[in-house]
Amino acid sequence: MPKEKAIKELEDLPGIGEATVDKLKAGGVDSIDKIAVMSPYELSELSGISAEAAKKAVQAAKEATTVNYETADQIMNRRKDIGKITTGSKDLNDLIGGGVETNAITETYGKFASGKSQIGFQLAVSVQLPKDKGGLGGSVLFVDTEGTFRPERIISIAKAYDLDPETVLANIMVIRATTTEQQILSIDRADKLIVEKNIKLIIMDSLTSLFRAEYIGRGALAERQQKLNQLVHRLQMLADKYNLAVYITNQVMDNPGILFGDPTTPIGGNVLAHAATTRLYMRKSKEDKRIARLVDSPNQPEGECVIKITPDGIKD
C-alpha cells in the first residue's frame, strides 16, 4: 500500500492544483495554517473548487497542522537570552525595565521635535557597544521614511562613547523608503541582511508617515490598517526569530473628541496599540529637556521621567 504523502505545501492538499494555489495566494492565503482556519464555503468561494473538495482540503489542512505549546518555566528560561540596549539615560532605562528589549517592539510617539528620532540615533550607537556597556555588539537596519536620518548626529554620539565614527556608520544599513511598498519590502526581504550583517536592532522612523500620506479618507482606512497590521507582525516575527530589538516612531494627531486633558493621540489606532510591546509618549519641556511617559508595558508600571537631548546623545 503506497505511503500517504506528507502535507507541507498548499499543492499537497487534496483537490488543490497549481492554478488553485495561484488563486489562493492572490487572495492572501499562502499557508496550510490559513486553510485550516477557513470554512469550506470560504475556500470554495475564493478558489473556485467545489464545496465537497473544499471540505476535504480544509480537513486535511487541520490534520496536518499542529499547535505547539511551551510551559511557563521554558519561556522564563528563554527570556534569560533577552538583551537590553541602553537609551543613554539611567532614568529612562529604569522606566522601561532596563533598556530597549530584544524580542519586542518599542514604540515612541509624540509631536514634531519631541525627541523620537533622537532616541533612535542614540540606540543606533548604543546597540554597537559590548553587552557589559549596555549594547549588544551588533549592527542596525535603519528604515528612514521621512528623510530624517543624519549621519552627523551618529558621529557626534559615537565620539562621546569613544567609538570610531566611521566604524559606527558602516554598521548602520540605511534604507530610504519613499513609498509604503518600499517600506514593507525592506522588512519582507530583511532576513539575509540580518544574518550577514549581525543586525541586532531595526529602527523604523517613522512607521506611519507614508501610510498616512498614501491612504487618505475613511474609504482607505481598512486597507491601511490591514497593511500596517501585516508590517508590525512581520517586525515582531523578525524580533522573535533573530532575538533582535525593534524601535519604531509614530506620528500623532489631536483628537477633537477629547475635551479635557491632552488630546494628543497616536496614529495607527488599535493595530499599533496592541502590536507594540512597550509604548512611550514623548513631549517637549523647557530647553533641551523632554518628558518621557510610559503608556504601556507588559511588566512595568506607568510612569514618567525627564531626559535631556545633548550633542553627546540622550542623558539624564
CB 278, CB 294: distance < 8 Å: yes
The band of 2, judged by pLDDT with boundaries at 50, 70 and 90, is very low
What is the CB neighbour count within 10 angstroms for residue 287?
Answer: 8
What dihedral do alpha carbons 37, 39, 44, 50 form, nearest 10°? 120
pLDDT at 201: 98
**DSSP-derived 3-state class of residue 242:** helix
Report the C-alpha gap between 211 and 178 in whole angstroms: 11
Residue 134 has pLDDT above 50, yes or no: yes
The phi and psi torsions of 199 (rounded to 5 degrees) equal -70, 125
Q: Of 2-6, 70-74, 182-186, 200-204, where does mean pLDDT reach its minimum?
A: 2-6
What pTM value is reported for the model?
0.80
Domains along the chain with CATH numbers: 10-64 (1.10.150.20), 77-315 (3.40.50.300)
Residue 104 has pLDDT above 90, yes or no: yes
Mean pLDDT of the chain: 91
The band of 28, judged by pLDDT with boundaries at 50, 70 and 90, is confident
pLDDT at 52: 92
pLDDT at 7: 83
Q: Which residue has the higher pLDDT, 6 or 163?
A: 163
Cell of 158: 559615537
Residue 115 has pLDDT above 70, yes or no: yes
pLDDT at 315: 95
Residue 193 has pLDDT above 90, yes or no: yes
- Burial call 126-146: b when 16+ CB within 10 Å, e when fewer: bbbbeeeebbbebbbbbbbbe
pLDDT at 174: 98
Report the C-alpha gap between 58 and 75 in whole angstroms: 32
Q: In Å, what is the CA distance from 157 to each residue of 33, 55, 287? A: 46, 60, 19
Q: Which residue has the higher pLDDT, 183 or 29?
A: 183
Q: Which residue has the higher pLDDT, 128 or 17?
A: 128
Give 285-305 pLDDT, tens digit per residue: 988 899 999 999 998 999 999
Q: Give 163-223 as a DSSP string.
A: --HHHHHHTEEEEE--SHHHHHHHHHT-HHHHHHHTEEEEEEE-SSHHHHHHS-SGGGHHH
Residues 165-171 have a mean pLDDT of: 98
Residues 127-156 have a mean pLDDT of: 97
Give 41-87 pLDDT, tens digit per residue: 889 988 889 999 999 999 999 998 887 888 998 888 878 889 999 99
pLDDT at 1: 40
